[in-house]
Amino acid sequence: MDRKIERATRKPLFVAVGIGAAILLVILVLATRDASTSYTLDGQRIRTSTVETGIYEDYIPLRGIVEPERTVFLDAIDGGRVERILVDDGAFVEEGQPIVELSNTSLQLDVIAREAEVSEQLNNLRNTQLAIEQNRLSLKSELIEIDYQISRLDRLVTRYVELQGKQFISKNEYEDAVDELGYWKSRREVTRESQAQDEKIRLAQIEQLESSVSQLEKNLTLARSNLDNLLVKAPRAGQLTSLNAELGESKARGERLGRIDDVDRFKATALVNEFYLSRVRTGQRADLDINGTRYDLEVNKIYPNVQASQFEIDLHFLGDARPDIRRGQTLQMRLVLGDIESDAVLLANGPFFNDTGGAWVFVLDEDRAVATRRDVQLGRRNSNNIEVVGGLIDGDEVIISSYSNFITVDRLFIEQ
């Protein structure tokens, strides 16, 4: 007799497999999540700093270059060929001392032409003055002749009046004499009017010619002064530097020949990061230490242009004491931005600031085995310290080395 064999159930096996798969999936998810938010690094490759309360000095270090406080540039005013070099580069010169002699044939010919033009105008002026004077003398002579005729006829008419009353002369003779006297009197008035008009014209012509000659003489003086400028002289005393001239070389108009530096007074120029653009002002103090002696400087000019994330400032020395420095020398200075010293919670400055912008840091736990990302508020900073405004307390140990390799993670595992 056949017996029915019942099939064994597989339900418990399916359940066990499902549970195992779920556990494996959770482990994979956790492992994947942990890998995306954590990073393991060697503890010997990091630098740390402990947050502590101390004295904050609000300054920034500057690297300045020594330059003369006053500089005068030498330019070829009219240009020309270098004929002589009278002073060597680097020599000290006095005001008015000749430095370079140039020659310019075109300028010399221009001066000769102007001299000839002035001479021609002077001759024209003299000829015009002579002609006007001759005309004036002619009019004066004519007026004298008219006055003579009037005087003669006046006496004649007076005698004719007496003779006509005694009937010694005819009426016609008397009337002719009266008419002739009237003619000469009328001519005298016309001559005087003509003389006055000629005098006005004469004065205007002479004034115009004199003005023209005066202008030509000024132009000639200017041309001669330009000729004098071919001998380049020192406009002030100082040290001649950057002399750029060779014998026989042609220099264009306005081309730079060199410079004269004032060796008695120097200034320092420095480049400052644009991060401090709003905090740097004229009048701020800086200090400099040379061979154990401190010197004070002051910001007296801020250039507005920003290039390569930096702007330039000028600083001049205060007081009578001057350090023994030379043009082009490098100086290490400290520019004070605010109160020199104040109490603050401090964290050492480091490369991390450039990676996070001061918005967050990695803080180590007590065992220095794990570092956790923490948001912070940082304030002022100098080359050594950063002021902590919030997010950290005394005793917190912070990684201050670069975060560039793990900037996207939340937690660091430190291998000792």
pLDDT value of position 25: 58
- Which tokens hold the place of 410? 């939340």
Q: Please choose, from the candidates 121, 111, 94, 144, the residue with its C-alpha nearest in 3D space to the C-alpha of residue 225.
A: 111
pTM value surpassing 0.75: no
Backbone angles phi, psi at 187, to 5 degrees: -65, -35
Cα 118 from Cα 112, distance rounded (Å): 10
Q: Is the per-residue pLDDT at 22 higher than 80?
A: no
CATH code linked to domain 79-103+230-260? 2.40.50.100
Alpha-helical segments (H) within 166-238:
171-228
* pLDDT band per the 50, 70, 90 thresholds, residue 32: very low
Q: How confident is the model at residue 246 (pLDDT cuts 50, 70, 90)?
A: confident
pLDDT of residue 157: 80
For 270-342, where are the alpha helices, taking DSSP H only? none
- Name the residue ranges covered by the structural domains of the chain: 37-56+342-415, 59-69+265-336, 79-103+230-260, 106-227
273: enclosing H helix or E strand: strand 266-273
pLDDT above 90 coverage of the chain, percent: 15
- Average pLDDT on 214-243 reads 82
Q: What CATH architecture does domain 37-56+342-415 belong to?
A: Beta Barrel (2.40)
- How is residue 44 annotated by DSSP? G
Rounded-to-integer distance, Cα 137 and Cα 311, Å: 79
**Burial of residue 49 (number of CB atoms within 10 Å: 0-12, 13-18, 19+):** buried
CATH architecture of 59-69+265-336: Beta Barrel (2.40)
Whether the CB-CB separation of 358 and 376 falls below 8 Å is answered with yes
pLDDT over threshold 60, residue 36? no
Question: b/e for 241-272, b at 16 or more Cβ within 10 A?
Answer: bebebeeeeebeeeeebbbbbeeeebbbebbb
| Contacts with 10 (C-beta within 8 Å, 6 or more apart), sequence order | none
Classify domain 106-227 at the CATH class level.
Answer: mainly alpha
Tell me which of 189-193, 214-218, 392-396 is least confident.
214-218
pLDDT on residue 33: 43
Burial classification of residue 364, based on how many CB atoms lie within 10 Å of its CB (0-12 exposed, 13-18 middle, 19 or more buried): buried
How far is it, in rounded angstroms, from Cα 363 to Cα 50?
10
- The whole-angstrom distance between residue 81's C-alpha and the CA centroid of its chain comes to 30
Q: Give the tokens for residue 185.
A: 């009197």
Residues whose CB falls within 8 Å of the CB of residue 180, separated by 6 or more in sequence, listed in order? 153
Two structure tokens written together for 357: 């912008």
Please give the Cα distance from 144 to 150 (Å, whole number).
Answer: 10
Taking the C-alpha atoms of residue 26 and residue 16, their distance in angstroms, rounded to an integer, is 16
Q: What's the rounded Cα separation, in Å, for the pair 286 and 312?
A: 15
Please check whether the two domains, 37-56+342-415 and 79-103+230-260, share a CATH topology. Answer: no
Residues in the chain: 416
Q: In the chain, what is the greatest distance between 2 CA atoms, to the nearest angstrom?
A: 215
Positive or negative, the CA dihedral 49, 54, 59, 62 is negative
42: tokens are 């060697």
Cα angle 261, 267, 268 (rounded to 5 degrees) comes to: 125
- For residue 160, count CB atoms less than 10 angstroms from its CB and return exposed for 0-12, middle for 13-18, buried for 19 or more: buried
Least confident of 3-17, 160-174, 242-256: 3-17
**Which one, of 409, 335, 340, 349, lies nearest residue 378 by Cα?**
349
